[in-house]
Amino acid sequence: CEINSCVSDRKDRRRKTNRERETNSPSDSSTRSSNLKSHHNKKNLSTLTTNNRRRKASYSSEILDTLGEGTFGKVVKVKDLHRSVDRVIALKIIKNVEKYREAAKLEINVLKKLADKDPKGRFLCVRMLDWFDYHGHMCIAFEMLGLSVFDFLKDNNYNPYPMDQVRHIAYQLCHAVKFLHENNLTHTDLKPENILFVNADYDVAFDNRRKKGVRRVKNSEVRLIDFGSATFDWEHHSTIVSTRHYRAPEVILELGWSQPCDVWSVGCIMFELYLGITLFQTHDNREHLAMMERIIGPIPSRMARKSKTKYFYHGKLDWDERSSAGRYVRDNCHPLMRYMKNEDEDTKQLFDLIGRMLEYDALQRINLNEALKHPFFDKIPPHQRLKAPSDIEKNCLSPTRERSHSLSR
């Protein structure tokens, strides 16, 4: 069918671009899968020992493997030798470069504040176990988690997740990000790479339609990671945030942004979990806006008028549909509802929720408190339902008390 052909074409395009994840985040501090290179052939079995007098803490670990590398540094799998019982953790080691050190300090402070508000991890944000300075390298120790939902998808040949897992992952993501929003934070870099399974063990089942084995993760519990770009309401807001494919229109049009830009990203992620393809597969602002218009509808003229960007002419998107990019958008992008693989109630509810998250006007976009009450989540089974402790809900971060991210050591 037409949609299956479109999915195939867009998977090919993604492979050709090697899943490039453009981001203009100023910190560039987080573990971004676009920059990660797996190293499974050679293990680094060195040890790392530090005695941080200023924090009155010592740390000793054995590096078992490199999990990933990026411009910021690397993430390694280590055995914590400081405890009587060995435990394996993930250690993020930041390059001894001032801008990366400062960005790491920002992330540490966000993680500390989140841990203060949620010491038991009920809101599904990754737990920072410790941090220290090792000869100028900022190091952050995290609980060990599994693959990201993107890496699992990639390893599964981009076969999408089953509906019950789409629902569960989306439910947890909304729950985690709602917690951030209630604490005056915007994540700004939500994407499948930053959602990690607690345990990515899987079963393989034969798919009669595809005539091949398809992986299904056994446990769809996830955690949200990468708070290096998280921004408090009272802090400076960079003009451009978010990884390209999940970037909200108000960010592209430089109209200012706040928590609703995260909701847009969640909608894009839910689409990707369901279909296995990126909704907006592009690396160009004008093409990105053209895709939005093709999939969602015309960009409101009031947004075009307010925007200081050069993408509009007389209130309409300046876009040549006869160009090669124009033909690609016309042939491969369709109105949102045409991506539904069937018309059962679950799918209709999923796409209704995605549509509400992809509302152009940030003020009209559904918030995550409303999203969690959407009928799509009614089928979450009792054992997967999450309850927000009232003492945490009522104890949000105070903008008068927390004015900066500077570390107090």
Give the pLDDT confidence of 251-288 residue by residue, as tens digits. 999 999 999 999 999 999 999 999 999 999 999 999 99
Phi/psi of residue 103, each to 5°? -65, -40
**Is residue 16 scored above 90 in pLDDT?**
no
Whether the pLDDT of residue 216 is over 90: the answer is yes
- Across the range 335-351, mean pLDDT stands at 98
State residue 207's pLDDT score. 83
Residues 6+ apart with CB under 8 A from 295: 279, 280, 333, 334, 335, 336
Q: Which amino acid is at 28?
A: D
- The answer, yes or no, to whether residue 27 has pLDDT greater than 80, is no
Share of the chain above pLDDT 90, in %: 71
User: What CATH number has the domain spanning 47-143?
Assistant: 3.30.200.20
pLDDT of 61 over the 80 cut? no
Please tell me the predicted confidence (pLDDT) of residue 80.
75
Better pLDDT: 151 or 398: 151
Residue 18 and residue 364: Cα distance in Å, rounded?
A: 35
**Residue 51's pLDDT band (cuts 50, 70, 90):** low
Angle of helix 260-275 relative to helix 163-182, nearest 10 degrees, comes to: 170
6 — pLDDT class (breaks 50, 70, 90): low
**Band of residue 4 on the pLDDT scale cut at 50, 70, 90:** low
- In this predicted structure, the answer to whether residue 83 has a pLDDT above a threshold of 90 is no
Tokens of 33: 């899968």
pLDDT for the residue numbered 273: 99
What number of other Cβ atoms are within 10 A of residue 409's Cβ?
10
Average pLDDT over residues 17-24: 47
Cβ neighbours of residue 160 closer than 8 Å, sequence gap 6 or more: 153, 166, 273, 274, 275, 276
Cα 81 to chain centroid distance, Å, stands at: 31
Task: Provide the whole-model pTM.
Answer: 0.84
Rg (CA), the chain: 22
Q: Which residue has the higher pLDDT, 120 or 270?
A: 270
Residue 292 identity (one-letter amino acid) = M
If residue 396 lies in a helix (H) or strand (E), which one and from where to where?
none
Q: Is pLDDT above 60 for 21? A: no
The domain segmentation of the chain, as residue ranges, is: 47-143, 147-392
Confidence of residue 109 (pLDDT cuts 50, 70, 90): very high
Q: What count of other Cβ atoms lies within 10 Å of the Cβ of residue 260?
A: 22
Give the chain's mean pLDDT.
Answer: 85
- Residue 140, C-beta contacts closer than 8 angstroms, at least 6 positions apart: 91, 92, 94, 104, 107, 108, 111, 128, 130, 131
Least confident piece of the model among 48-52, 254-258, 384-388, 404-408: 404-408
Predicted local confidence at residue 18, as pLDDT: 43
Give 293-310 pLDDT, tens digit per residue: 999 999 999 999 999 889
99 is in an annotated binding site: no
Is it the case that residue 372 has pLDDT exceeding 70? yes
pLDDT at 70: 84
Gap between the Cα atoms of 50 and 407, Å rounded: 19
- Helices and strands, number each (H, E), in the chain: 12, 14
Residues marked active site are found at 189
What per-residue confidence (pLDDT) applies to 8? 57
Interval 370-390 mean pLDDT:
90
* Matching residue, tokens 């002419």: 313
Output the pLDDT for position 224: 98
pLDDT at 15: 44
Quick one: which H or E segment has residue 209? none
Higher model confidence: residue 228 or residue 168?
Answer: 168
Q: Which class does domain 147-392 fall in?
A: mainly alpha
Question: What is the predicted pLDDT for the residue at 212?
Answer: 86
Identity (one letter) of the amino acid at 40? H
Report the C-alpha gap between 244 and 259 in whole angstroms: 17
